[in-house]
Amino acid sequence: MLKTNLDKIVEMYLECRPGQPRVGAGWRVDHQGVPFLLPGIGGITLNVQVGDSAFGLAGDHIEPGVSCTANADKPNEFPNNSLQILSCVGNEARIVTGDAKGEKGIVIGHHGGSEHIIVDFSPAVKEKMTYDDRILIRAKGQGLALIDYPKIKLFNLSPDLLHTMKIVATDTGTLKVPVTTVVPAACMGSGVGRAHVGAGDYDVMTSDPATVQKYQLDKMRFGDIVALMDHDNSYGRAFVQGAVSIGILVHSDCRLAGHGPGISTLMTCPTSLIEPVIDPCANIADLLKIGTGRE
């Protein structure tokens, strides 16, 4: 088992509510000049969940599950910024009001721009929810570190998820990390250059059909653990040759130029200490038995 500073990690409650769907007035235009008018970010999304394909939906930037905010009017300010930074993928979420009171879910990532965290609840629970429900996140994980691998930084990653990811330490000092997909550096778009990675995501551009086919990007599912090659997320999202970052897919494919499925950061290293290993089951739905993993 990987040695961590688990005994030093702080655990606290955060409160949030489901965020209403956000749709701008008028048409938007895709990267080929075609206008569209479709569902987008936010909402209690009833028929999409982790484990489903992130492609082919009649939507743009769709967030699977329940999109949550602590301050819908001021998404970049307190207390929503605290919710974004301190909640981690794999944290427990519990509904404390309404018809679904007592039901539990799992945080599956953050979406920058909308400044939502996204929580997986079962379809039956989502049917009982409203936008007035209050949800408590049992936040734990920010500050988690690998004692024997100081160059590898962890972000947004709960200890529970870390220890289910089937990471293997090698004799050469590297970590083999199971992923569904290896993404080349040139595909990373919207969000590159952001100053921190403790919240939000950045997008895998899917505007080039040949590249999508070559790397099988259109096979990705919500909740996939993926490798971003030659990208270092240690102090911002940047191209660095030899670096490897590991993230989780949190929103659907997008039609806008420079956009595509969104990836929240989980692990990163400026050198090649992380070795991606292809595993079709490297998805949070399969690892934590949520989303399609319940079925």
Residues in the chain: 295
Beta bridge partners of 135: 16, 95
Q: List residues bridging with 213 in a β-sheet.
A: none
Q: Where are the domains of the chain?
A: 6-140, 153-294
Containing H/E element for 267? strand 262-269
CA distance 285 to 192: 27
pTM over cut 0.75: yes
pLDDT digits (tens, 9 = 90+) for 43-101: 999 999 999 999 999 999 999 999 999 999 999 999 999 999 999 999 999 999 999 99
What is the DSSP pairing of strand 274-278 with strand 175-179? parallel
Structure token digits, residue 272: 């090649």
Q: Which fold has domain 153-294?
A: tm1086 (SG structure) fold (2.102.30)
Q: Which fold has domain 6-140?
A: Thrombin, subunit H (2.40.10)
- Local structure of 213: helix, strand or coil: helix
Please compute Rg for the chain using Cα positions.
18
Average pLDDT score, the chain = 97
- d(CA 221, CA 195) in angstroms, rounded, equals 27
245, pLDDT greater than 80: yes
Q: Are 119 and 66 in contact (CB under 8 A)?
A: yes
Taking a C-beta distance cutoff of 8 angstroms, is the pair 51, 283 a contact? yes
